[in-house]
Amino acid sequence: MHSSRTTPAPRVLFASAEAFPLAKTGGLGDVAAALPPALAGLGVDVRIVLPAYPQALELIESRRVVSRLALSCGGGVLIEGRMPDTGVHVYLYDAPALFRRRGSLYQDRWGNDWPDNHLRFGSFCHAIAAISCGKAGLDWQPHIVHANDWHTGLVPALLAGDTDSPATLFTIHNMAFQGNFPLCVGPDLGLPACMLASNELEFFGQLSFLKAGLRYGDRLTTVSPNYAREILTPENGFGFEGLLNARKDDLVGILNGVDYNVWDPAVDRMIAKQYTADDVSGKAACKAAIQAELGLERSDAPLIIFVNRIAHQKMADVVLAALPALLQEGRQFVLHGQGEKSLERAFEVAASGYPGRVAVRIGYDESLARRLTAAADMSLTASRFEPCGLTTMYAMRYGALPVTRLIGGLVDTVVDAGSPESGGQHGTGFVFDTETPEEMARCVHRACQCFEGHHWRSIQQSAMRRDFGWKRSAQRYTDLYLQLITDKDRREADETSVRMVA
């Protein structure tokens, strides 16, 4: 870590709605689990804060109640503990009426957004602000609040008027998820009327949590360099490209990393047999085990997986339309994920037409996801837009070569292996351009031709040896924290000088 005698080790409150294994619906949960211990390894005093979901309360270690918070937007109990495995310090904001309920983190059992999500995460933001400003009765106060995605977007706005507040860093994990609610809920969230103006938190007649983070965060980051460029355009800015362009000097793209203590076939205890880039023989045992587990025929034909959200963004509709072509020449296909109910049902119906060759498992199970990735020859990770693409990075480490599009963070991670005749020099996957079933099927066919050729092994080795570990990215975040502390100290010194002169 870059440091000096006058700059203390950064104290960082890492605020997230998810952190695996306490809570996870997607990549945010993985990032919030892996980045804080990587930061701690660089000397950062980092503590995570997230809501006290039932699973979080079950899994947190050494838990104890440390504070009772009376907030303008509800209130609750603050529980302190440690993350399983990593031991990172964690605070859980326990408001039972808001977070102890059946369903997913953001939706009920039927897939509908909780109607009080604005209150749930508004209250969470007020709790974060209380911790940040020393109003939670703790003996620790951060230099930096690192807020992640819309669920914590109000935090920079709530802290903006407090001279004793820490600096804020706001990370955008996906511009499509904005936390937009009726403007009339502003008073319920403890927001003054002046904050509901069009140049403040109003967004097309609604109140936007995401806009609050973009507007008030001292610095902004997103999860890949290419996505940082894309969100400045109308195609990918989702209505915020004007604000983002106005703040582009404060915006940086830092590629997410992979926790290779978890996602690595050389150490993964959840797979049938461990293997490495130098000795991939164990992958055959993983494939045979999955075929037996899911009722697939025992076959050496390519096994293609789709382990992802079943959503328009992830091109699940295109995968469904392309399925007959993907299954040519005896290929097998497995889908595991959850999302749009109509697509879930359509995949289940489609699977019934291919007994022994197609398996569909709706939901999400971390162990199954890793077993599938270890078993697969190819992983469909194409997207209409993709901020980073952790699933693609996981697939490469497990030798399940990605079939994807060069969009967003995938530009920063996947190198096309070319045609079978090219020898796959330095390639790590297979890419296509247009978002059509025909283009996807052609790309899969090209990958399968390579699978039958002499160069598959070299492509697989190139993919498995790519290093997407957190060390480099954690260092970039640490440098940003130190710069924020320096900038805040300089502003405070300038304000003191002005007062003295006056």
Condensed to tens digits (0 to 9), the pLDDT of residues 147-161 reads 999 999 999 999 997
Residue 419 pLDDT > 90, yes or no? no
Cα 56 from Cα 47, distance rounded (Å)? 15
Residue that the structure tokens 């055959």 belong to: 284
Q: Which residues contact 198 (CB under 8 A, 6 or more apart)?
A: none
List pLDDT tens digits, range 172-193. Answer: 999 999 999 999 999 999 999 9
- Give the number of residues written for the chain: 502
Residue 359 pLDDT > 70, yes or no? yes
Q: Which residues contact 296 (CB under 8 A, 6 or more apart)?
A: 290, 303, 332, 334, 356, 357, 359
Q: Which residues contact 456 (CB under 8 A, 6 or more apart)?
A: 424, 450
Residue 500 pLDDT > 80, yes or no? no
Residue 439 dihedral angles phi and psi, to the nearest 5°: -65, -40
Edge-to-edge strand ranges of the sheet holding 332-337: 358-362, 332-337, 303-307, 378-380, 401-405, 430-432
Residue 137 dihedral angles phi and psi, to the nearest 5°: 75, 20
DSSP annotation of 6: T
Count other Cβ atoms within 10 Å, centred on residue 107.
13
Residue 423 pLDDT > 60, yes or no? no
Q: Is there a contact between 301 and 330 (Cβ–Cβ < 8 Å)?
A: yes
Cα 390 from Cα 260, distance rounded (Å)? 12
Is 294 in a helix, a strand, or coil?
Answer: helix
Residue 488 pLDDT > 90, yes or no? no
pLDDT number for residue 110: 84
Cα 71 from Cα 361, distance rounded (Å)? 42
Q: Which residues contact 97 (CB under 8 A, 6 or more apart)?
A: none
List pLDDT tens digits, range 279-319. Answer: 999 999 999 999 999 999 999 999 999 999 999 999 999 99
pLDDT number for residue 2: 44
Residue 422 pLDDT > 90, yes or no? no
How are beta strands 180-182 and 206-208 bridged, if at all?
antiparallel
Sign of CA pseudo-dihedral 382, 388, 393, 394: negative
pTM score, whole prediction: 0.92
Q: Which domains does the chain have, with CATH numbers?
A: 11-257+470-501 (3.40.50.2000), 282-464 (3.40.50.2000)
Mean pLDDT of the chain: 94
Cα–chain center distance at 84: 19
Is 295 in a helix, a strand, or coil?
Answer: coil
pLDDT number for residue 31: 97
pLDDT number for residue 4: 40
pLDDT number for residue 22: 97
pLDDT number for residue 5: 42
How are beta strands 167-172 and 378-380 bridged, if at all?
unpaired
pLDDT number for residue 136: 94
Cα–chain center distance at 438: 29
How are beta strands 167-172 and 144-148 bridged, if at all?
parallel
Residue 389 pLDDT > 70, yes or no? yes
List pLDDT tens digits, range 240-288. Answer: 999 999 999 999 999 999 999 999 999 999 999 999 999 999 999 999 9
Cα–chain center distance at 484: 23
pLDDT number for residue 401: 97
In the chain, the percentage of residues whose pLDDT exceeds 90 is 89
